[in-house]
A and B are shown apart, each in its own frame.
Chain A
Amino acid sequence: MVSPVLLIVIPLGLAFCVPLIGMVSKRFARFVPVVACLFNLVVSVQLLPAVLSKPIVVDLGGFGAPFSINLFVGPVGILFSLLIALAGFVVSLYALAYIDKGPTTRYHTLYLLLLVGATGVVLTGDVFNLFVFFEILCISSYVLVAYRGDKDGVESAVKYLIQGALGSALLLTGIGLLYGLFGTLNMAHIAVQAGSADPIPLFVAMALIVVGLGVEAAIFPLNAWLPDAHSSAPSSISAILSGIAIEVGLYAVVRMVFTVFGASSMLSFLMFLGVLTLLVGELCAFAQSNIKRMLAYSSIGQIGLIIFAIAIATSGSITGGFFQLVSHTLSKALLFLAAGYMIYRSGSMDISSLEGMGKRMPLTAFAFAVGAFSLVGLPPFAGFPSKLLIIRGALADGGALLALLVGLVLLGTVIEGAYFFRVIQTVFFKKGDGETARCEAPAIALVSMFVLVALIIVIGVYPSLIIGVLNSAASELLVRADYIGRVLG
C-alpha cells in the first residue's frame, strides 16, 4: 500500500522542481501543480478504503509515538486531504489559462507549497509539526495574495501578514506552554494528560492556540483580514483561500478543541460564536457592492455555519458540518472561479458591471448560478443535503436554545439567498450597457468549472456517496479515546 507520507513529500518535492523546470520552459512549469494534485487525489482515493476501516498511523524516523513525529491519517484527515487535492486540482487547471502574466513560476511554486502546508496540517499528529505546516500554508498565502503586485494586493497582503503573524505568535506561545506543561508535543500524548493538568495554565494554552488558529479559521472577531485578502488575490487564489485555507484553519481549531483538549465545556460558547460569525458575515455580504468582497464575507458566514454545526457535537450535526464544509469548498471555489473570468472580461469587480454577462458568457454565468444555488442550500444541489443535515442535527436535540439559534441560522440563510439572487438577477436579467459580444472563458477554465458543477449536482442528488466518510469523520472527532488508543497503542 502507498504510504500517506507521499501525500506531503511528493508535492513538496515537486514544488521545488517548479523553478528548475521553469528555467527550461515556463509552459511546462504550469503543469506541475496539476500533476501533483492529481497524484494526491489518486493516492487519497487509494487510501480511503483502508483508512475507513482503520486509521493509519505513520511514525516518522522509526521511533514510536510519543517520541517521534507521527502522521495520523484518519477519516477526518483523508476527507480533508481529498478535498484539498480535489480543489487544488480543479483550481490548478483553471490557473493554466488564468495565470498568464507576472512571475508565473513563482506562483506555481507557492501554490503547491500552500497545498502542501494544508495537507500537512490535516495529516499531522504533532502539535509543533502542525505549527510548521501551518506557517508554510500561511506564508505562501501572504505572498500569493500580493501576486498581482498592485496597491490593493500588497496592502491586503501586508494586513493579512500582520494579523496572521500575530496569530502564529499566539499559537507558538500556546504550544510552548503546552510543552512546558506536559513535556510532549504529540497530540495524543497531550490528550491523555490534559484531564489531570492544572486547569488555569491549560486554559491559557488552549485560549492562545484557539485564538491563534482562529485568525486563519476566520472566526469572528478574528477575521478582519479575510475580506481584503480574498478580494484582492487573483481569483484562483481566492478560490483556494476560501475553499481550502480557512477550512484547514477550522480543522485545526476543531482538532485542538475536540481531540487535544477535549474541552466539551467550550462547545456552547463556540456554538454562539459560530452563529455570530454567520450573522456578521451574511449581513456584511448583503451590504456589499463588490462581488469578490461579497463572496469573501459569504465565506465568513459559511464558516460560522460549519462551526455552529460542529459545536453542537452530536454525530448528526458534525456530519452535517463536514457536509457543509465539502459543499462550501466546491461551491465557493466554483463561485470564485466563475466570478474570476466575469471580472476579467468586464474589467471591474462591481456587481453592477456584471450586467448582461448571462448572454456574453452563458456557460460561466450558468456555473456561477449553480454555485450560488448550492451555497444558498436549494435542491437539487450539494448545499441542500448539508443544510438539511445541520438543521436536523440541531433540532434533534430538542432544546429551546438550539431552536432559537436555528432560527437565527435560517435568518442568515434568507439574507444569503437575497444577496446571491440579486447577483443572479444582475448577471442574467439586467440588460448590459450595449456590449453584447460573446466572450466566454477559455476552454480549460470552463472544464475546471464544470467539474465542480458536476460534483455539486451529483453530491446534491446522491448524498449517500460521501455520507460514509463524513459519518466516520464525525465519530473520529467524538470518540477521543479511539484517537489516543490508535496513536499510543
Chain B
Amino acid sequence: MSLELLMVVALGGSLLTYVLGRVSSRLRNGFAVLVSLALVAMVASLYGKALHVSYYEDFLGMSLVLRVSGLSWLFAMTASTLGCLSVVFSLSYMKGKERTSFYYSMLLLVNAAMLGVVLSGDLLSLFIFWEIMSWSTFLLISYNGGPALAAGMKYFVMSFVGSLAMLAGLLTVYGSFGTLEFGGVAAGMLSASPGYILAIFVLFGVAFGTKNAIWPFHAWLPPAHSEAPSPFSAILSGILIKMGVYGFLLIIFVLVGLRNFMALGADGLPLHTVLSIVGAITILFPTFMAIMQNDAKKLLAWSTVAQAGYIILGISFGTSLSVAGGVFHFVNHAVFKALLFMVVGTVEYRTKGVRDLDSLGGLIKKMPLTFAVALIGVCGLIGVPLTNGFVSKWLIYKTLILERSPFLALVALFGTWGTILYSYKFLHNIFLGQLPEKYKDLERAPMTMRLPMTVLSIVVVLFGVLPGIPLSVINSIDTSFGLKPLNVTLWGLASDTGALNTINILAAVFAGLLIVWLVLKSGGRKVSVDQADNYAAGAAIPKDKYQYSVGFYAPLTRMVAPYLKDFMDSFYMRLAGWVGGLGSGIRRIYTGYVGDYAMYIVLFLAALIFVQLTWSPW
C-alpha cells in the first residue's frame, strides 16, 4: 500500500464527492461513505510498516516527503476512523440541509488534510496540509451562518497567526540546516544552541498550542465547537485539535529530542515545567467554564479544552509512563468526545435544533439507546473504572505522584471532580428529569446515527477492560521515542511502582453488582409513582410550568462566576477592535482633498532631499 495512493484517494475522493453531488445525492452519500471506509482500511493496512517516499522532488528546491511511523499510524487511524463514523452520522443529520455536497466534500477534505499532516515526512508538507486543514475547517465552521460566522472568523485568525508562526519557524530551520526532512532537522538540532531551539520551539508551539486550544490560545474553541455542524464538532473535538498534540510530540521527541527539550528554559523554571503548568491551567479554568454552560455543545467544548490540558500535562513530563498516559488520553478523548458530540447531534436532530440544557429533559424514555451510549461516554470522560478514560487518567495521576508533583496532581484531581459535575449536568438535563410535553412524541434516533454511536461506545468499554490493545501500540511509540518500554499486559500494566489490572476491577464490579441485585431482590414490593411526585411530594402542580433542570448548580455558579472571566478572550476581542480602530484612524490620511494628496507627494520629495543634504545617509 503506497502512501501516495492513500493521499490521492483521500484528496480525490473529496473532490469527486462534490462532483457526484451534482449528479445525485444518494450516489454522493454512498461514495462518501465508501471513500472514508476505504481510507480506514488503507490506513489499517499500514500498521507496523515504516515507509518513506518522496512524492514531490522539487518544490522551490525543497523535496516533499510522506512517511509513516508508529506515532503517525495511531493518529492516522484515529482520524480516518472518526472521519468515517462522522460521515455515516451525517447521512441523517444533514438530510434536507442545503449545500450538502459542499459539506461532504469539505468533511472529506479535512479528513484528507489531517492524514496528510500526520503522514508528512518533512516540515513543508506538514505546513501545506496544515493550512489546507485550517481553511477547510474554517469553511465548515462557518457553514451554519449566523453566530457561526464570528466563530469561524475567530478560529481562522487565531489559527492563521499560529500557522504563520510555524512558517517563520520552518523557514528559519531551513535557513540553518538546508533541509526540512525530519531526519535532517533532528540531526541538525543535536548541535544547535539552546536559545535557537527555544525560539524554534516557541514558534512551532504557538501553532500547535493554538490548534490544541491550550490556554492562552483556547479562545477560538468554545464558539467554533458549538456552532459547527455536530458531526463535524465530533471531528473537531475528537481529532482535529489533537493535531496540536501530534505536533508537540513531533517537535519534542522527534525533532528536538527529549534530552534537548528537558534542558530548555531558565535554571529555576525549565520549559517542560512551564508546559505542565500551562497544562494545569488548561485543566482548571475551562472545567469551571464547562460547569457553568447551559448549551450542551458549549459545555462539551469547554470540556474539550480541559481534557487537552490532561494530554499536555502527560506529555510534558517526558517519561514513558507519562507519554503513554498523554497519548492514550488523546485516543480515549477522541472516542468519547466524538461520541458525546454525536449524542448532542442526535438530540438536536430529533428536537429540531434544541441543545439548551434548560429546556430539555427526560429523553431517556424516548431515546434509550442514545442515553445508554451517552452514559458510557460520560463515564469515559469522568474516568470511571472499566472505561477507557480511567486507564489514561490513572497513568497520568501515577506519573504526577511518581514525579512528586503534588500540586499538579491536586489540580488534575480537582479537574476530575469538576468533570463529574458537568458530566452529570449534561446527562441529567438531557436525559433524566421530566420530559417536556412537546417532546412526548419524539422518535428514537435513526439507524445511521445509532450505528456510529454504538461503535464508539463499544470502543470506550473495550479499551477500558482490555487497555492492553491500545497500550501495546502506544508502547511501541514510546520505544520509538527512545523511552524505556512499559510492561504492558492485555489487562493493564505490570510494573514495580504499582500495577494496573482490570481483571481485579472487573471482578470487584461484578461482585458489587451482585450484592446490589441481591439486596433489591430481597427488598419489598415495588411501588410506581408519578415522576412529578418525586419533586413535589404528592402536591398538585401544573406539570409543564416547571422545568427542574433550570439553574442547575445555581449556588456553585453564583459562587464562582465573579472570578471566572475569560480575560484572554476579552483581550483578543479588544485587540481585534483596536486593529479595526487603527485602520479607521489610518484611513484618515486619505482625506479626500486632492490638495492634501499633492502636498504629500511634494513633502515626501522634499523630505528625501532634506534628509540626504543634512545627514547624507544614502
Partners in one complex: yes
Question: What residue of chain A has the Cβ atom nearest to residue B174's Cβ?
Answer: A392
Is there an interface contact between B156 and A417, defined as CB atoms closer than 8 Å?
yes
- The contact of A170 among B160, B175, B605, by CB within 8 Å, is B605
Is there an interface contact between A429 and B598, defined as CB atoms closer than 8 Å?
no
* Min CB gap A33→B, angstroms: 31
Is there an interface contact between A203 and B594, defined as CB atoms closer than 8 Å?
no
Is there an interface contact between A204 and B145, defined as CB atoms closer than 8 Å?
no
Whether A23 is near chain B, meaning CB under 8 Å from some CB there, is: no
Question: What residue of chain B has the Cβ atom nearest to residue A417's Cβ?
Answer: B160
- The contact of B604 among A221, A387, A396, A463, by CB within 8 Å, is A221
Is there an interface contact between B587 and A378, defined as CB atoms closer than 8 Å?
no
Interface string of A385-412 (1 = CB under 8 A from B): 1011101100110100000001100100
Whether A428 is near chain B, meaning CB under 8 Å from some CB there, is: yes
Is there an interface contact between A463 and B618, defined as CB atoms closer than 8 Å?
no
Question: What residue of chain B has the Cβ atom nearest to residue A162's Cβ?
Answer: B594
Residues on A with C-beta less than 8 A from B139 are 428
Whether A283 is near chain B, meaning CB under 8 Å from some CB there, is: yes
Interface residues of B in 531-545 (CB under 8 A from A): none
Is there an interface contact between A418 and B601, defined as CB atoms closer than 8 Å?
no
Whether A373 is near chain B, meaning CB under 8 Å from some CB there, is: yes
In the assembly, what is the distance between CA of A428 and CA of B617, in Å? 51
Whether B2 is near chain A, meaning CB under 8 Å from some CB there, is: no
In the assembly, what is the distance between CA of A407 and CA of B172, in Å? 13
Main secondary structure of the interface of B (DSSP, over half): helix
In the assembly, what is the distance between CA of A396 and CA of B62, in Å? 15
Interface residues of B in 150-171 (CB under 8 A from A): 152-153, 156-157, 160-161, 164-165, 167-168, 171
Is there an interface contact between A215 and B594, defined as CB atoms closer than 8 Å?
no
Question: What residue of chain B has the Cβ atom nearest to residue A174's Cβ?
Answer: B605
- The contact of B148 among A200, A208, A392, A429, by CB within 8 Å, is A429
In the assembly, what is the distance between CA of A287 and CA of B618, in Å? 35
Interface string of B589-618 (1 = CB under 8 A from A): 110001011101110110011001100111
Residues on B with C-beta less than 8 A from A488 are none
Is there an interface contact between A391 and B168, defined as CB atoms closer than 8 Å?
yes
> Known: A166-B601, A395-B171. Contact between A385 and B157, CB under 8 A?
no
**Residues of B within 8 Å of A, CB-based: how many?**
55
Is there an interface contact between B132 and A380, defined as CB atoms closer than 8 Å?
yes
Whether A479 is near chain B, meaning CB under 8 Å from some CB there, is: no
In the assembly, what is the distance between CA of A463 and CA of B160, in Å? 23
In the assembly, what is the distance between CA of A421 and CA of B138, in Å? 9
Is there an interface contact between A207 and B605, defined as CB atoms closer than 8 Å?
yes
Whether B580 is near chain A, meaning CB under 8 Å from some CB there, is: yes
Interface residues of B in 565-582 (CB under 8 A from A): 579-580, 582
Is there an interface contact between B608 and A421, defined as CB atoms closer than 8 Å?
no
Whether B563 is near chain A, meaning CB under 8 Å from some CB there, is: no
Interface residues of A in 137-167 (CB under 8 A from B): 158-159, 162-163, 166-167
- The contact of B152 among A215, A286, A425, A463, by CB within 8 Å, is A425
Is there an interface contact between B594 and A373, defined as CB atoms closer than 8 Å?
no
Residues on B with C-beta less than 8 A from A265 are 617-618
In the assembly, what is the distance between CA of A213 and CA of B308, in Å? 55
Question: What residue of chain A has the Cβ atom nearest to residue B59's Cβ?
Answer: A463
Is there an interface contact between A373 and B145, defined as CB atoms closer than 8 Å?
no
* Min CB gap A355→B, angstroms: 10
In the assembly, what is the distance between CA of A422 and CA of B598, in Å? 34
Whether A280 is near chain B, meaning CB under 8 Å from some CB there, is: yes
Is there an interface contact between A166 and B598, defined as CB atoms closer than 8 Å?
yes
Is there an interface contact between A395 and B600, defined as CB atoms closer than 8 Å?
no
Whether B34 is near chain A, meaning CB under 8 Å from some CB there, is: no
> Known: A280-B589, A410-B164, A417-B156. Contact between A211 and B143, CB under 8 A?
no
Stretch at the interface among A1-9, A222-230, A327-335: A222-230
Is there an interface contact between B618 and A429, defined as CB atoms closer than 8 Å?
no
Is there an interface contact between B618 and A422, defined as CB atoms closer than 8 Å?
no
- The contact of B594 among A159, A263, A389, A464, by CB within 8 Å, is A159
Residues on A with C-beta less than 8 A from B617 are 265, 269
In the assembly, what is the distance between CA of A280 and CA of B589, in Å? 10
- The contact of A380 among B128, B580, B590, B601, by CB within 8 Å, is B128
Question: What residue of chain B has the Cβ atom nearest to residue A388's Cβ?
Answer: B60
Whether B294 is near chain A, meaning CB under 8 Å from some CB there, is: no
Interface residues of A in 57-88 (CB under 8 A from B): none
Question: What residue of chain B has the Cβ atom nearest to residue A387's Cβ?
Answer: B167
Whether B584 is near chain A, meaning CB under 8 Å from some CB there, is: yes
Interface residues of B in 85-136 (CB under 8 A from A): 127-128, 131-132, 135
In the assembly, what is the distance between CA of A284 and CA of B167, in Å? 25
Whether B142 is near chain A, meaning CB under 8 Å from some CB there, is: yes
Among B58, B160, B165, the most chain A Cβ lie within 10 Å of the Cβ of: B160
- The number of inter-chain residue pairs (CB within 8 angstroms) is 153
* Min CB gap A317→B, angstroms: 12
Interface residues of A in 149-201 (CB under 8 A from B): 158-159, 162-163, 166-167, 170, 199-200
Interface residues of A in 418-462 (CB under 8 A from B): 418, 421-422, 425, 428-431
Is there an interface contact between A388 and B167, defined as CB atoms closer than 8 Å?
yes
> Known: A203-B609, A373-B135, A418-B157. Contact between A413 and B598, CB under 8 A?
no
* Min CB gap A234→B, angstroms: 22
Is there an interface contact between A286 and B590, defined as CB atoms closer than 8 Å?
no
- The contact of A211 among B584, B598, B601, by CB within 8 Å, is B601
Residues on A with C-beta less than 8 A from B618 are 203, 263, 265-266, 269
In the assembly, what is the distance between CA of A163 and CA of B584, in Å? 23
Whether A21 is near chain B, meaning CB under 8 Å from some CB there, is: no
Question: What residue of chain B has the Cβ atom nearest to residue A392's Cβ?
Answer: B171
Question: What residue of chain A has the Cβ atom nearest to residue B159's Cβ?
Answer: A417
Question: What residue of chain B has the Cβ atom nearest to residue A207's Cβ?
Answer: B608
Interface residues of B in 248-284 (CB under 8 A from A): none
Is there an interface contact between A422 and B608, defined as CB atoms closer than 8 Å?
no
- The contact of B612 among A163, A203, A215, A430, by CB within 8 Å, is A203
Is there an interface contact between A163 and B598, defined as CB atoms closer than 8 Å?
yes
Whether A103 is near chain B, meaning CB under 8 Å from some CB there, is: no
Whether B412 is near chain A, meaning CB under 8 Å from some CB there, is: no
Whether A415 is near chain B, meaning CB under 8 Å from some CB there, is: yes
Question: What residue of chain A has the Cβ atom nearest to residue B138's Cβ?
Answer: A421
Whether B523 is near chain A, meaning CB under 8 Å from some CB there, is: no
Whether A10 is near chain B, meaning CB under 8 Å from some CB there, is: no
* Min CB gap B202→A, angstroms: 13
Is there an interface contact between B157 and A464, defined as CB atoms closer than 8 Å?
no
- The contact of A379 among B131, B584, B600, B601, by CB within 8 Å, is B131
- The contact of A421 among B156, B582, B612, B616, by CB within 8 Å, is B156
- The contact of B175 among A398, A410, A425, A431, by CB within 8 Å, is A398
Is there an interface contact between A283 and B579, defined as CB atoms closer than 8 Å?
yes
Question: What residue of chain B has the Cβ atom nearest to residue A393's Cβ?
Answer: B171
Is there an interface contact between B138 and A222, defined as CB atoms closer than 8 Å?
no
Is there an interface contact between A414 and B164, defined as CB atoms closer than 8 Å?
yes
In the assembly, what is the distance between CA of A207 and CA of B600, in Å? 14
In the assembly, what is the distance between CA of A266 and CA of B579, in Å? 31
Question: What residue of chain A has the Cβ atom nearest to residue B130's Cβ?
Answer: A379
In the assembly, what is the distance between CA of A410 and CA of B170, in Å? 14
* Min CB gap A76→B, angstroms: 20
Is there an interface contact between A410 and B601, defined as CB atoms closer than 8 Å?
no
Whether B555 is near chain A, meaning CB under 8 Å from some CB there, is: no
Q: Can you list 23 A-B contacts with CB-CB less than 8 angstroms, sorted by A residue number?
A: A159-B594, A166-B598, A167-B601, A170-B601, A203-B612, A221-B604, A222-B604, A224-B597, A284-B583, A287-B583, A287-B584, A287-B586, A288-B587, A378-B131, A384-B128, A385-B60, A391-B167, A396-B175, A410-B168, A415-B579, A415-B583, A428-B139, A431-B145
Assuming A162-B597, A200-B613, A203-B612, what are 18 further A-B pairs, CB within 8 angstroms? Answer: A163-B601, A166-B601, A211-B601, A211-B604, A211-B608, A221-B589, A224-B596, A227-B590, A263-B618, A285-B583, A288-B587, A379-B131, A380-B132, A388-B60, A421-B152, A422-B153, A430-B145, A431-B145
* A positions within 8 Å CB-CB of B: 158-159, 162-163, 166-167, 170, 199-200, 203-204, 207-208, 211, 215, 221-222, 224-225, 227, 263, 265-266, 269, 280, 283-288, 373, 378-380, 384-385, 387-389, 391-392, 395-396, 398, 406-407, 410, 413-415, 417-418, 421-422, 425, 428-431, 463-464, 467
Sort A-B residue pairs by CB-CB distance and give the 6 closest, nearest first.
A287-B583, A224-B597, A283-B583, A286-B583, A211-B605, A379-B128
